[in-house]
Amino acid sequence: MRILITGSNGLLGQKLIKLLCDEGMEVIATSRGTNRLPNDGQYQYESLDIVNQQQVLDVVSKYKPDVIINTAAMTNVDQCESEKEACWDLNVNAVKYLIEACEVTGTHLLHVSTDFIFDGSHGPLTEEEAPNPISYYGESKLAAEKLVTESQIKWSIARTVLVYGIAHDMSRSNIVLWVKNSLEAGKAINVVNDQWRTPTLAEDLAMGCYLIASQSATGIYNISGEELMTPYDIAIKTAEYFQLNKSLISETDGSKFSQPAKRPPKTGFIIDKAKTKLGYSPNSFEDGLKVLASQLD
């Protein structure tokens, strides 16, 4: 099976390249600019700016992949509020171009989406929950989902929540690394206790995408961790695992932070569909920390 990845320089993209190559897939990695990963010839790299309609058509037509896994997105929620045009270009228009290319080549599109399409009034959520975004990022991701679901191509959507993990070049931070690095530096941190998520190890999300692609599964799948936690819970568990000073962590609530974009208070996913239909089985949060720690050695 030939699989093309967009956003291959990102955290999920990097994990997908490794997993798909290990599974014997033919992998075409694409990202804007130069490849930031080592390449021992196991996969091909093609520079691709997916907001360029012609480039998308040219690259997809050149390789005619069986599946495209679209991991590229503007995911900085506050940046999306201040750079709306760039956000819409990358999160919506680019998806339209991918769909158009898939129409030409008969390619299956697997699009990665987010819990931020929901308003956070309750959770955890099934795939059937009605979206109601409260940020521009959420609006853009929902618009992309609509393009995918209303298209005539073969499609699937993998929705995920609060992804954490280690990027090859340490170019991506996340809540776990932020907590660990802050405490190691002896810095006191304030962490919110009134938001709930099901944090997702990047390797688990990559596995969920692989299971969807390899089984040619269609439809929407929740691909996340299983434990409903607040960022404060995550910070405490991270401190305990790495034996760092928990007294530096203070509980606070979201009202104390001034951020351009609203965050949904409570999301998190019910992943029964992915477990039953795909055989998806994510790591516990503690085991996820072990995976992450092993990559820091």
- The answer to whether residues 223 and 205 touch, using CB atoms and an 8 Å cutoff, is yes
Which amino acid is present at 289? L
Model confidence at 225, pLDDT cuts 50, 70, 90, reads very high
DSSP code of 185? T
Kind and range of the H or E run holding 291: helix 285-294
What does the pLDDT read at residue 297?
74
What does the pLDDT read at residue 93?
98
Residue where the block lists tokens 């269609």: 218
CA 205 to chain centre: 7
Mean pLDDT of 171-183: 90
pLDDT at 172 over 80: no
Cα torsion through 243, 244, 246, 248, rounded to 10: 180
Under CATH, to which class is 2-166+200-224+269-279 assigned? alpha beta
pLDDT at 171 over 80: no
